[in-house]
Amino acid sequence: MSILERRLIREPSFGLTGKLFQVSWGFVLLLCALAAVGYAALYSAGGGAEPYASRHALRFAFGLMLMLCIALADIRFIARLSWPAYVVGVALLVLVAHMGHVGKGAQRWIELGGMQWQPSEFMKLALVMALAAWFHQASWERVGNPLFLIPPVIVVLVPVGMILKEPNLGTAVITAVVGASVFLGAGLRWWKIAIVLAALGAAAPLAYAHLHDYQRARITTFLNPESDPLGTGYNIIQSKIALGSGGMWGKGFMQGTQNHLNFLPEKQTDFVFTIIAEEFGLVGSLAVLALLCLITLAAMAMALRCRHQYGRLVALGVSVNFFMYVFVNVAMVMGAIPVGGVPLPLVSHGGSATIMVMVGFGVLMSAYVHRDAEFGDAERDV
């Protein structure tokens, strides 16, 4: 079969209507269901639609329209924006370091369009796109060449280092893991990642000495929260009480005592999952976790459907980013890992996180809609 014939097969001609049919509407419904869970939890957190739930609904609606618009854009056009997006992301991190808004001891936000934005959220997507562009069409042999890996390693370390300096340890770790997932998806051997992890483990005592006081306090609290029950251990102790008090079926919607008596700080952001556990119990919590897992698996499935390497890698990175959000947030509120400022995607109150998750899913959806697109090297697009 000639290359021209392969292109005719792999690049079906369809217009806007055809692209709309290619959109995974089942995936869109899953996202809407998760946003509805977030609306209910935030409605309970605020005691009504204001001040959290209504804003959450508006942001999700805007993000949904943005996601669909991006999904209809040609993935090859998006690929050409990969490195410019990375440069913009680094520039925003530099900007937030010099004139960012300081909140809760960290300098992570900038004011844009009347909203506070966290550039690190945009940076994660830009990093995935840049790495996908670097590894696209790279052979297995080339991926195994250490010299070929030096530039993408630097591409990962630059934003991770800048995010650590904010300081934002949780987001920095997620950014590093997302970058590593793209390396693995491109064909890097597991044992090379294992060597890096072993080196990081060996350097852990040195890294601990350079942590901020509040970060060391989080680790101490994680190991023994009862050592300071009214101080650093308060949040996680109250979170565990809320998780356990819901029982099997929960106390009922708007009936959570830990929530409505304000025992739990940051209940609308970091600890929103505890509201679900307290009011809907173990059954409701498992149902929400099942929904989150289903979204992750559906995103991974769409990544595997892409014939071109760029689409596979960018979709994989977006999927892993979503999974890491979920894993870190749920593990944090359960006391399985130290507390960090990581929201539950499309459930927690927060503008930049919600919008950027939807933008990321828009890029993933574009890769899926244009999964048979030809990038110019027919021998590599398999």
Q: Quote the pLDDT of residue 337.
A: 82
Query: What's the one-letter identity of residue 239?
Result: S
Q: Quote the pLDDT of residue 358.
A: 96
99 or 212: whose pLDDT is higher? 99
| pLDDT tens per residue across span 282-305 | 999 999 999 999 999 999 999 989
Q: Which residues contact 292 (CB under 8 A, 6 or more apart)?
A: 34, 326
Flag whether 143 is in a domain. Answer: yes
Flag whether 381 is in a domain. Answer: no
- Give the pTM: 0.87
Flag whether 59 is in a domain. Answer: yes
Confidence class for position 181, pLDDT limits 50, 70, 90 = very high
Task: Look over the chain and give the mean of its residue pLDDT values, rounded to a whole number.
Answer: 83
Q: Could you give the number of structural domains in the chain?
A: 1
Q: Which helix (H) or strand (E) holds 149?
A: helix 146-165
Of 163, 185, 166, whose CA–CA distance to 174 is shortest? Answer: 163
Least confident window among 109-118, 319-328, 362-371? 109-118
Q: How far is CA 360 from the centre of its chain?
A: 8
Flag whether 7 is in a domain. Answer: no
Flag whether 41 is in a domain. Answer: yes
Q: Which domain, by its residues, includes 128?
A: 16-369
Flag whether 327 is in a domain. Answer: yes
Q: Has residue 352 got a pLDDT over 70?
A: yes
Least confident window among 174-183, 207-216, 247-256? 207-216
Flag whether 380 is in a domain. Answer: no
| C-alpha distance from residue 163 to each of 5, 106, 174, 284 (Å) | 47, 10, 11, 35
Flag whether 267 is in a domain. Answer: yes
| pLDDT tens per residue across span 270-286 | 889 999 999 999 999 99
Confidence class for position 169, pLDDT limits 50, 70, 90 = confident
